Structure 1
Amino acid sequence: MNGRTCTFVEGIAMSASQRLTLQQLRRFSPIDFLSSHYLQQLVDSLQYIEHKAGSLILRRGEHALALYFLLEGEVWLGAENRNRHLQAGSPEACRALNENQPQDQDIGARSDVRLFAVERSLLERLLNWSEAASYEVGSLQVDEVAEASDDWLSKLLRSPLFGRLPPAHLHLLLGRFEFIEVAAGASVVRYGEPGEHFYVLKQGRAQVSLPGSDAQEPRQELHSGDFFGEEALVSGAVRGASVTMLTDGVLARLSRELFVELVRPTLIPQISARQLQQLSGHGKKNCLLLDVRLPMEYRLGHPPGSLNLPIGQLRQQAAGLAQDSLYAVLAEGGVRSELAVHLLNQLGFEAYLLSEPSGQPPIAA
C-alpha cells in the first residue's frame, strides 16, 4: 500500500468454495438493508481477499473506493502495539472496517485474516434502488372513506397525488391518459421489471403480491380509482411488487415521459434555505431538518440539529412525527430524499426537499 487512492487492497484471492451465501452476507451492515433481488447482484460482485499476520491492510489517510468487511481472523486498529483489536464475528465486525473517508486509522492483520470488499458506489446505488423499490407497494393506497358510488376519476382527484396539480396540468394530464382493456389473470406489472407507466384502475379489481410472501398471507386488493407505479418512475428503480388482474377491467395509464413532465414536479415540492429560515425565524412554523440516509452515512456528516430517520423506517415511524411541523428533507440522500418527501406528503405531512444547503456546515457525529 502506498497511500494513493485505490480500488482494492492487496491480498490473496479466496477460492470459489469460500464465497459467501446470501444468508451469510445478511449479517453485515448496511448490506442487510438490501432486498433479495439487489442482494444477489451484490454477492456476484464481491472481491475476496486474504492477508497474512503482521501485514498492513489499510493505511490512515487513504481514500479507498471499496468497503472492507472482516470475515475471519483478528485485526488491530490505530497502532499495532496498542490494545484495540477487532475479532471476526463480533458485533462491531458486522460493519465495514473503513466506513470513514479518508481512512481515519491504520488497520493491520493481528492473525491471518480473510476479508471481502464491495465497491462503495455500487453498494450505495443498490441501497438507493432497494429502498426505492420497497415503496412501490406503499403507493397503492385505497381511499377507505370513498363512497361506493364514486367513480374512478373523482376518487383519483381527491388523492394527495393529484391534489397538488395546477388546474392547467390536471386538464392536460386527463387528456393524455391511454385506456387499455385487460383480462382477468393478466399481469400488469411484474416485480423486478423497469417502470414504464403510471397506472390507475378505472374498472375491475387487481391484486398486489410481493416476492417471497407466504401464500397464506392476505394480499392487498385494488379497486376502481386506486393508482400504482409512481415510485418506480420517480426513482428509476425496478418494480417492487407485482400487480395481477383479478377480474376483467380497464386501466388508465400514463407514460414515464408524460408523468415526469406533468406530475413529478408536484410530488417533490422544494423549499430554499432562505424560505426555511424565514418561516422558522418568524415563528410561523416549527421546521425540522430530516436526513433519510442510513445511520452510517449520517454519522459521517450532517447539519447540526437534523433528525436521522432512514427512509426504510419512515413509514413505520411516521406516527411519531408531529403533524403541525414542516419537514425539510436534506437532499444528500438523492433519490431517497425525493421519495421521503413524496411519502410524507402522501401521509398528510407538510414536507419539502431542501433545494439549497442549510447554511450550516456539516458536522461529523
Structure 2
Amino acid sequence: MREALTPTHLRSLTPLNVLSEQQWRELRKQLVPQPVLAGQLLFRRGDQARLTYFLLAGELLLEDAQGRQQRLVAGSEASCHPLSPSLPRLQDARALTDVSVLALDSATLNRLVTWRLAYQDLLLDLGQQYDELGWLERLLDNPLFAKVPPANVRAMLERLQSIELAAGSTVLREGEVGDCCYFLKSGRAEVIRGAGTDRQVLAELEVGACFGEEALLADRPRNATVTVVEDAVVLRLARQDFVALLKAPVVNEVGLGEAARLLAAGAQWLDVRLQGEYERAHAAQALNMPLQLLRLKARLLDKGRIYLCYCDSGKRSANAVFLLSQLGFNGYALRDGLDALPAVQRDGLLCESGAGYLVRSGGRTERSH
C-alpha cells in the first residue's frame, strides 16, 4: 500500500491525531506509506535518523541490546505510537512479514504538534471570554498563524476592534490609504477591483479571512475594494499592531549571503516584479510571478521548497512572503530589496537579461518571449 493516508488513518495515530486538517495538508507529501519486506531491518540500535516511524500494516520485531523482544502488530494499541522514538534508537526493528510504515520528519512533526497544543490551550482560555470560537479556530487554521507565537495572537485579540456591518457595506475602498487590516468574524465579503464595466470580482472571503494587509506591507494605497454581501462582523487591527504582532514573526528577511546558502540547499529565487522589469534583468534561474498574480498562480509552486522573493525596494517581496505564508508556503524576502545592494553585488545577482523563466502548469518552467 502506497496510497496517501486518509483522515481516519491519521486520527488513529498519536500525536498525529491532535493536528488540524490544514497541518495534515502541510505534511501531505510525507503521508505516503512505505513498504518494508519480510526480514528487512527498518532501523538498527544506535540509528540517529531524525524520522518518526509508525507501523501501518504487518508485524515487526523490536529487540534491545539485552535481547529483550517485543512483537508489534499493526492495528494494536502499541502500533498507534511512534516506533522506538528515542535517539539514538534503543532497539533493532525487523519486519517479520511484509509491512507498511509511515516515516515523518521529526522536526516538522514536533513543530506542528507544539503549535497545535499551544493554540489548544489558548482556545481553552478564550472559551471563557467568547461565546463562540468557530471564527477563531478557522482563523488559526490559516497557515500564516503557524509562524505567529500564541502570545502574539493573544495580544492581537485584545487589540481588535469589532465592527458590525449591514449587507452591501464597504469595508475598504480601492485607492484609499491603508491604516489597518481586518478579519472576517461572521458573514461573507467580496474583493472587487475596478468599477462600472471594468468591475471584476477577484475573490469571495469567508469567516476567518484576513484582508487589507497588502496595503500595509507594501505601504501603498488599497489595490481593491471589499464589500460585505450579507450582514457581517469584521475585526479591525491597526497598522502598528499588525506590524508588531503579525508581520514581524511571519516576514523573514535574508541578506545575500544567507540567500546563497539557501539556494545551495535547493531554494528558488522568486521575482515578484512586473514581467517587463524582470525581462530587463533578473537573478539566474529566477521564476517570475508578479505580486498582483501571486495568489492566482501560487498553486503552481512547490510547498516543499523555500522561495526567496525579491523586488526593488523590498516592499513587494515582503508582501509576497506574507501572502505565501497565508497559502502554506515557506518564503524569505531579500532584505531591503535590490536597491539596497552595493552595485557590484546587484550586478552579480542580476546576471541574466532578456527572456526569463515563467511558471506553467504542474510547476514546470519555460522561457518567456
TM-score by length of 1: 0.51
2:223 aligned residue: 240
Indicate how the Cα distance of structure 1 residues 270 and 212 shifts in structure 2: closer, same or farther if over 3 A, else same.
Answer: same
8 Å Cα contact 1:293/1:333 also seen in 2: no
2:194 aligned residue: 211
Where 2:312 maps in the other structure, the secondary structure is helix
1:230 aligned residue: 213
- Residues of 2 paired with 1:275 and 1:224: CA distance? 38
Counterparts in 2 of 1:1-365, with a 5 A limit? 151-212=134-195, 220-281=203-264, 285-332=265-312, 334-355=314-335, 360-363=348-351, 365=353
Indicate how the Cα distance of structure 1 residues 253 and 317 shifts in structure 2: closer, same or farther if over 3 A, else same.
Answer: closer
> Deviation of residue 350 (structure 1)?
1.5
- Residues of 2 paired with 1:249 and 1:316: CA distance? 26
Q: Which runs of 5+ in 1 are unaligned?
A: 1-148
- Residues of 2 paired with 1:199 and 1:322: CA distance? 28
The aligned amino acid for 1:228 is F
The aligned amino acid for 1:355 is R
8 Å Cα contact 1:292/1:340 also seen in 2: yes
- Residues of 2 paired with 1:315 and 1:252: CA distance? 23
1:65 aligned residue: none
Q: Which runs of 5+ in 2 are unaligned?
A: 1-131, 354-369
> Deviation of residue 208 (structure 1)?
3.3
8 Å Cα contact 2:144/2:328 also seen in 1: no
> Deviation of residue 177 (structure 1)?
0.9
> Deviation of residue 217 (structure 1)?
7.5
> Deviation of residue 219 (structure 1)?
7.7
8 Å Cα contact 1:271/1:355 also seen in 2: yes
> Deviation of residue 330 (structure 1)?
2.5
Give per-residue Cα distances to partners, 1:329-356, cap 9 Å, x unaligned.
1353532222222232333221111238
Calculate percent identity across the aligned residue pairs: 37
> Deviation of residue 235 (structure 1)?
1.2
Q: CA RMSD in A?
A: 3.1
Give the structure with the larger helix fraction.
Answer: 2
> Deviation of residue 255 (structure 1)?
0.9
- Residues of 2 paired with 1:314 and 1:278: CA distance? 25
Indicate how the Cα distance of structure 1 residues 215 and 330 shifts in structure 2: closer, same or farther if over 3 A, else same.
Answer: closer
TM-score by length of 2: 0.50
> Deviation of residue 172 (structure 1)?
1.2
8 Å Cα contact 1:187/1:243 also seen in 2: yes
Indicate how the Cα distance of structure 1 residues 309 and 239 shifts in structure 2: closer, same or farther if over 3 A, else same.
Answer: closer
Where 1:324 maps in the other structure, the secondary structure is coil
- Residues of 1 paired with 2:162 and 2:291: CA distance? 34
Aligned residues: 214
> Deviation of residue 164 (structure 1)?
1.4
> Deviation of residue 300 (structure 1)?
4.1
8 Å Cα contact 2:163/2:235 also seen in 1: yes
Indicate how the Cα distance of structure 1 residues 332 and 239 shifts in structure 2: closer, same or farther if over 3 A, else same.
Answer: closer
- Which gives a bigger RCO, structure 1 or 2 (Cα 8 Å, sep 6+)? 1
Indicate how the Cα distance of structure 1 residues 333 and 169 shifts in structure 2: closer, same or farther if over 3 A, else same.
Answer: same
> Deviation of residue 183 (structure 1)?
2.8
Indicate how the Cα distance of structure 1 residues 191 and 176 shifts in structure 2: closer, same or farther if over 3 A, else same.
Answer: same
- Residues of 2 paired with 1:354 and 1:299: CA distance? 19
- Residues of 1 paired with 2:168 and 2:184: CA distance? 15
